[in-house]
Amino acid sequence: MNALIKSATIVDSKSDFHNETVDILIEKGRISKIAKNIPNSQNFKEIKLDNLHVSQGWFDSSVSFGEPGYEERETISNGLKTAAYSGFTAVALNSNSNPVIDSYADITFVKSKAQNNGVSLYPIGALTHLSNGEDLAELYDMSSAGAVAFYDYQKPISNPNLMKIALQYASNFDGLVFSFPQESKISGLGVANEHINSTKLGLKGNPALAEELQVARDLFLLEYTEGKLHIPTISTAKSVELIRAAKAKKLNVTCSVAIHNLVFTDDVLQEFDTNYKVLPPLRTTSDCEALIEGLKDGTIDMVTTDHNPIDIEGKKIEFDYAKYGTIGLESAFGALQTLFTTKKTISLLTQGKSRFGIAESSINEGEVANLSLFNPDSSYTFETEHISSKSKNSAFLGMTLKGKTYGIVANNKIILR
């Protein structure tokens, strides 16, 4: 793939051209030249877009696509196209398909479906067989096939001894273990944050305590085993405190936060819109503020869209019975920019790769072209027409977002909207 990107402002602190507006010449998928003006003497494909900015390729540590088994929600092919249009060059795929991704063959299958794509897909294998929380899955075999971590998506491991054994076993091959932060006996049948709004609305409450107990338990287990732990999608102020203290003790722990848990509070539940039914649930303003502060001081290592397509039958029903989840790839950049500067937003979207063993690159001559293309200054109201996913269950519909994405240049391919 050969291309000439014209008049692009580079947003990459590792680049020799950070904050400069330049031309970028790409030959055979590699950046061959960066300069103020590069003539297109070889008649390469030109990329010239309004207020074009480029950064290192963005990474999402938690996406769900459905295939195999739930193709009516999303396919791997369309999911990766959606990721590309949304500016992501790499995604980690959850194991919550049917069948669950819990074997060498399953990892091989999903990787084969993503071959020759502009977006790199990194599969996360199930932690337990069939994600049933009873017996460990084939962790080493899946790691050999290319699994980057192990996670029973949104299913807490209730047996602490099983989590202990998982951390000990995976440490033999530097495996990364996820633990969903929820104590299921405390959360019970709760569908919304246990607080004033859940009481007013008559919704069963899922208390912050359920998350914090599980986080505290897992950090004790991590300290005992000296393993490698990732806690996905934390949502409470106390969870931030617990992880901050664990990092001060030099425990090998990272965590993420879903973008919707930064942007929305449980105040949005007044109309019982099931697009806001997510897990963990939307919390309070003080929780949002603590999560944002955790990102600023580095306690929280990465953001995720926690992109989870759900078909209309799973959402257009009573709140109590609706499935959890919102899509988030298409709205990620614009939503983050309502909270952070462009520089910080790009930093958040490019963090986390090293935790999953994914190579990082910079925008410099001689480097492989792995680029996200965007306009940071365009504001618009997010509507269904902006959604590329097969499912349309977005919590961000109707919200004013700042900044739009153009696409990516990665894996020797150009994918633009």
- Give a yes or no: residue 407 inside a domain: no
Q: pLDDT exceeding 90 applies to what percent of the chain?
A: 99
Nearest to 178 by CA among 238, 236, 137, 119: 137
Contact 369, 55 (CB under 8 A): no
Mean pLDDT of 204-208: 98
pLDDT at 273: 98
Look up the CATH number of the domain holding residue 253.
Answer: 3.20.20.140
Rounded distance, CA 94 to CA 150, Å?
9
Q: Which residues are catalytic?
A: 306
Cα separation, 190 vs 185, whole angstroms: 10
Asked whether residue 116 is assigned to any structural domain, the reply reads: yes
In a domain, 55, yes or no: no
Which pLDDT belongs to residue 8? 98
Query: Do the beta carbons of residue 399 and residue 382 sit within 8 Å?
Result: yes
Mean pLDDT of 203-224: 98
Query: Mean pLDDT over residues 29-46, rounded?
Result: 95
pLDDT of residue 78: 98
Number of structural domains (the chain) is 1
When pLDDT is averaged across residues 343-352 and rounded to a whole number, the result is 97
The per-residue pLDDT of the chain, averaged, comes to 97
Name residue 376's amino acid: P
Confidence band of 145 (pLDDT split at 50, 70, 90):
very high
The pLDDT, as a whole number, for residue 309 is 98
Q: CB neighbours of 46 closer than 8 A, spacing ≥ 6? A: 3, 4, 5, 6, 40
Q: What is the mean pLDDT of residues 18-37?
A: 97
Task: Assign 225 a pLDDT band (cuts: 50, 70, 90).
Answer: very high
Neighbours of 188 (CB within 10 A): 14
Quick one: pLDDT band at residue 307, thresholds 50, 70, 90?
A: very high
In a domain? residue 417: no
Is residue 275 in some structural domain?
Answer: yes
The structure tokens 């990082």 sit at 360
Q: What pLDDT is attached to residue 224?
A: 98
Q: Can you name the residues that pair with 29 across neighbouring β-strands?
A: none
| pLDDT confidence of residue 331 | 98
Average pLDDT over residues 134-139: 98
**Position 43 confidence tier, pLDDT thresholds 50, 70, 90:** very high
pTM: 0.96
Q: According to the model, what pLDDT value does residue 339 have?
A: 98
Q: Is residue 25 part of a domain?
A: no
Q: Is 148 domain-assigned?
A: yes
Mean pLDDT of 142-161: 98
Residue 320 lies in a domain: yes
**Domain limits at 98?**
60-356
What's the pLDDT at 241?
98
Q: Do residues 78 and 392 make contact, with C-beta atoms less than 8 angstroms apart?
A: no
pLDDT (0 to 100) of residue 343: 97
